[in-house]
């Protein structure tokens, strides 16, 4: 199958969250399964700099008249073929892909991401004479217009190219003012309730949800949750209507990036059979962060965007209890200013027990999973979540709110699940200080029983999360879309 993957970020070139990890790993997994896969990316500076051998393929004219070039090159050792949209006026700016240096959304993002969907649809219609996809797989709202453009393209005399849309996070919808619609080059009929109109606005997310042939999201539980009013962000009715074509495919872990046995960023390597190196990693981490070098103090880690979604006020409220019981907290993250400040203040007040690093730091993220005992992910909602899976792989037991992908990947350490050998961490159901506290108490109670702790940790480290399984599920969905 010829498959075009469309996303705004891709690891290792440009990453603001888990989307990049998936966009980086999925094409390689599909290629390993024998598929002919290419990626399409906006020409952000890090992408233009990171894709090897970029050469022009075609001229591209946006619906609003702006010209751009389509380039092609390859990514990484696997040399994944990548198309890049060269439009410096839209993409070459300071800040991240979505916000300027002052964390304000760019005023013309409807154009910046419409061009992504537009280029995908043009490729599907023969823009590159050497290669045309049979299927376009668009990720999140940034690529949401691709299915809409494909739905309105003229397919007379050739097979219709199908589309699949994956929701990584329904909370971010790409909403724009109605007057922006006229610039998008879509027929008027697209802007209605049965289309991409959402309460009078243009919704790129809804375009993907409405016009794609198949839909997926990144865990089975989240696939159910988004069909309810509580978690549907106003789109649950549409999602219930499309439940027949919606599947939840759990994210996987890229073993070439996240493997404690071969991770070059760690002080020592280890695996489930020889876990000894983990203690070395813990001591090195405590030392590097200025925490008390105490082998018996359970280290809790957070590697996260600091936003409402991630439930971190629970951790702030419970921090005194965590420290009073002899625990340490090591946080790496960036996001909302008030949360950054709140965590910074806690670290300043107790530097031997609380370490807070504000910013983005890939090596430190690896060292935190390796050097910690517990990975905290108390998210209010979580489509899949990758950090709990990295925690599992690195022997840092996840403590999670039992929602979305967290519910699908972590089994609570109850007596019966420990007896059955399936427990891998700690979960709580009620999103409240009380719920979080009880899970925290379970973590401390288990930590006081080292043999049980090691058994649960080993179960977690063995939990399969391979991309081969996920790729098979995606291929099955692609085949359904093509049928
Ligand atoms: P989300 O995509 O909602 O942010 P995920 O758990 O799916 O949540 O993915 C987060 C990804 O971003 C993980 O790979 C995690 O390690 C990484 N990450 C988050 N914050 C940071 C940071 N400050 N520094 C380095 N990596 C980070
Ligand atoms: C989103 C979600 C996260 C998920 C990631 C990758 O950013 O918030 O839960 O793991 O996408 O699919």
Q: What is the DSSP string of 189-206?
A: GGSSTTTTEETTEEEHHH
Question: Which mutation among 96, 218, 252, 310 tests ligand 2's pocket best, with the greatest number of atoms within 8 A of CB?
Answer: 218
CATH of domain 2-252+467-482: 3.40.50.2000
CA of 307 to the centre of ligand 1 (A): 12
Q: Both tokens of residue 14?
A: 């440009």
> What residue has token string 């404690």?
260
CATH class of 277-462: alpha beta
Ligand 2 atom closest to the Cα of residue 17 is: 7
With CA atoms as reference, report the closest residue to 226 among 149, 177, 166. Answer: 166
pLDDT bucket at 103, cuts 50 / 70 / 90: confident
393 vs 460: CA distance, rounded Å = 7
With CA atoms as reference, report the closest residue to 299 among 284, 313, 314, 282. Answer: 282
pLDDT at 102: 86
pLDDT in tens, 31-50: 999 999 999 999 999 999 99
The pocket around ligand 1, CB under 6 angstroms, is made up of 17-19, 21, 303-305, 332-334, 360-362, 365, 384-387
pLDDT in tens, 296-313: 999 999 999 999 999 999
Contact (Cβ atoms closer than 8 angstroms) between residue 270 and residue 276: yes
With CA atoms as reference, report the closest residue to 39 among 138, 126, 147. Answer: 138
Query: What are the residues whose beta carbons fall under 8 Å from the beta carbon of 153, sequence distance 6 or more?
Result: 121, 124, 125, 161
Contact (Cβ atoms closer than 8 angstroms) between residue 163 and residue 153: no
pLDDT bucket at 6, cuts 50 / 70 / 90: very high
Q: Give the chain's mean pLDDT.
A: 97
> What residue has token string 């001591």?
283
Radius of gyration from C-alpha coordinates of the chain: 23
Mean pLDDT computed over 59-79: 97
- Domain extents for the chain? 2-252+467-482, 277-462
Query: What are the residues whose beta carbons fall under 8 Å from the beta carbon of 382, sequence distance 6 or more?
Result: 222, 309, 400, 401, 403, 404, 405, 406
289 vs 372: CA distance, rounded Å = 12
134 vs 124: CA distance, rounded Å = 7
Span of 91-95, 237-241, 384-388, 424-428 with lowest mean pLDDT = 91-95
Ligand nearest to the CA of 248: 2
257 vs 25: CA distance, rounded Å = 10
User: Do the domains 2-252+467-482 and 277-462 sit in the same CATH topology, yes or no?
Assistant: yes
**Residue 84: its H or E element:** strand 80-86
The pocket around ligand 2, CB under 6 angstroms, is made up of 17-19, 22, 168-169, 218, 251, 382-386, 405
DSSP codes joined into one string, 142-173: GGTHHHHHHHHS--TTSPPPEEEEEES-TT--
CA of 213 to the centre of ligand 2 (A): 22
CA of 137 to the centre of ligand 2 (A): 16
Q: Percentage of the chain with pLDDT > 90?
A: 98
pLDDT bucket at 477, cuts 50 / 70 / 90: very high
Q: Both tokens of residue 374?
A: 């517990």
Distances (CA, A) of 17 to 14, 142, 146, 442, 466: 9, 14, 22, 29, 20
Ligand 1 atom closest to the Cα of residue 21 is: 14
Ramachandran area for residue 384 (φ above 0: left; ψ -120 to 50: alpha; else beta): alpha
pLDDT in tens, 119-173: 999 999 999 999 999 999 999 999 999 999 999 999 999 999 999 999 999 999 9
Contact (Cβ atoms closer than 8 angstroms) between residue 444 and residue 323: no
DSSP state of 106: P
355 vs 39: CA distance, rounded Å = 38
Contact (Cβ atoms closer than 8 angstroms) between residue 321 and residue 440: yes
DSSP state of 366: H
Distances (CA, A) of 23 to 42, 82, 193, 331, 435: 13, 12, 30, 25, 34
Contact (Cβ atoms closer than 8 angstroms) between residue 340 and residue 367: no
pLDDT in tens, 162-214: 999 999 999 999 999 999 999 999 999 999 999 999 999 999 999 999 999 99
Mean pLDDT computed over 438-461: 98
CA of 168 to the centre of ligand 2 (A): 5
């Amino acid at each position: 199958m010829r498959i075009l993957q469309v996303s705004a970020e891709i690891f290792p070139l440009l990453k603001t969250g888990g989307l990049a990890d998936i966009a980086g790993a999925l094409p390689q997994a599909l290629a390993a399964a024998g598929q002919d896969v290419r990626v399409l990316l906006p020409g952000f500076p890090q992408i233009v700099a990171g894709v090897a051998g970029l050469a022009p393929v075609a001229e591209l004219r946006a619906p609003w008249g702006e010209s751009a070039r389509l380039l092609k090159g390859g990514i990484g050792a696997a040399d994944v073929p990548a198309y890049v949209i060269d439009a410096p006026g839209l993409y070459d700016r300071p800040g991240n892909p979505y916000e300027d240096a002052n964390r304000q959304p760019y005023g013309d993002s409807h154009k910046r991401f419409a061009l992504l969907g537009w280029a995908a649809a043009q490729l599907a219609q023969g823009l590159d004479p050497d290669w045309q996809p049979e299927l376009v797989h668009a990720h999140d709202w940034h690529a949401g217009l691709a299915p809409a453009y494909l739905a309105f393209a003229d397919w007379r005399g050739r097979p219709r190219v199908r589309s699949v849309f994956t929701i990584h996070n329904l909370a971010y919808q790409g909403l724009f003012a109605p007057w922006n619609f006229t610039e998008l080059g879509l027929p008027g009929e697209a802007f209605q309730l049965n289309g991409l109109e959402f309460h009078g606005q243009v919704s790129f997310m809804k375009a993907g949800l409405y016009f794609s042939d198949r839909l997926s999201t990144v865990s089975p539980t989240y696939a159910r949750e988004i069909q309810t009013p509580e978690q549907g962000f106003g789109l649950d009715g549409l999602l219930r209507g499309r439940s027949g074509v919606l599947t939840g495919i759990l994210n996987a872990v890229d073993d070439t990036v996240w493997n404690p046995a071969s991770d070059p960023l760690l002080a020592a390597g280890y695996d489930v059979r020889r876990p000894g190196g983990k203690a070395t990693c813990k001591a090195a981490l405590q030392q590097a962060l200025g925490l008390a070098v105490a082998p018996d103090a359970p280290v809790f880690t957070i590697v996260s965007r600091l936003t409402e979604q991630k439930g971190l006020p629970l951790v702030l409220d419970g921090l005194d209890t965590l420290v009073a019981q002899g625990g340490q907290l090591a946080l790496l993250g960036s996001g909302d200013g008030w949360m950054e400040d709140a965590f910074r203040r806690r670290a300043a007040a107790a530097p031997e027990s609380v370490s807070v690093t504000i910013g983005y730091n890939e090596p430190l993220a690896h060292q935190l999973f390796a050097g910690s005992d517990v990975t905290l992910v108390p998210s209010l909602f979580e489509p899949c979540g990758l950090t709990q899976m990295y925690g599992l792989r690195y022997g840092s037991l996840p403590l999670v709110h039992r929602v979305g992908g967290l519910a699908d990947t972590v089994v609570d350490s109850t007596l019966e699940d420990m007896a059955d050998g399936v427990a891998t961490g700690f979960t709580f159901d009620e999103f409240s200080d009380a719920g979080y506290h009880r899970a925290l108490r379970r973590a401390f109670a288990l930590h006081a029983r080292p043999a049980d702790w090691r058994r649960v940790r080993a179960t977690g480290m063995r939990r399969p999360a391979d991309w081969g399984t996920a790729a098979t599920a995606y291929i099955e969905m692609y085949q359904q879309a093509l049928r």
